[in-house]
Chain A
């Protein structure tokens, strides 16, 4: 158990819908990262937040958005869902905003778009 929690564990929805994935970082961690794992793209970095501020963006679609709240939990919002958005979405957290920090991964949310 990494200490990072993600809800829900599974999500099944239809094309065109909107969903919100939630992540609670380890106690004391200020950085939150989101990654997408799909069969065709592998593991891809989406976005990084540190203490409520966006720090870096990766291959995140315009239909996707994220935020980190004052209590440090983060939400990833996916809208106008397409079949290709079906994937495992991981959240990771680290203590600070340093390249040497270890990122601790949550168990993931499996999104299925029908």
Chain B
């Protein structure tokens, strides 16, 4: 079984400041990793995913994430945030074999202050 822990439930930052949203996972098998964003009153949108290869993954809207296998982490970063980045961010994993499902963390609410 897999589990995902997002270490911060809320992260407030000022506009144009850098941000890091932390995600740790636990799994007895190899996994693929994902970050999704949920804007208010909308569905989830994929930001980026790690399947294999380079551990630094670049996604949409200037976000990137780094997979660290030894620390079982997949932290999301952006060097300079905008008001429009205000949303809920979800880290998720999917086992590379077996039931095809996403296991999500509890989410991190990112609030950008002007």
Contacts and interface: CB of A to CB of B under 8 A. Distances in A.
Contacts of A45: 101-103
A14 B43 CA distance: 25
Contacts, number: 57
Contacts of A106: 43
B43 A99 contact: no
Given A43-B104, A99-B32, A100-B32, A90 B44 contact: yes
Nearest to B51: A100
Interface stretch (B12-20, B66-74, B77-85, B91-99): B91-99
Nearest to B41: A107
Interface string B95-114: 11101111111110000000
Given A43-B90, A99-B96, A58 B51 contact: no
B43 A105 contact: yes
A4 B97 contact: no
Interface of A: 2, 4, 31, 33, 35, 42-45, 48, 55-58, 90, 92, 97-100, 102-108
29 contacts: A2-B43, A33-B100, A33-B101, A33-B102, A35-B102, A42-B104, A42-B105, A43-B104, A43-B107, A48-B99, A55-B99, A56-B99, A57-B99, A58-B99, A90-B43, A90-B44, A92-B44, A97-B100, A99-B94, A99-B96, A99-B97, A100-B51, A102-B46, A102-B49, A105-B36, A105-B43, A105-B45, A107-B42, A108-B43
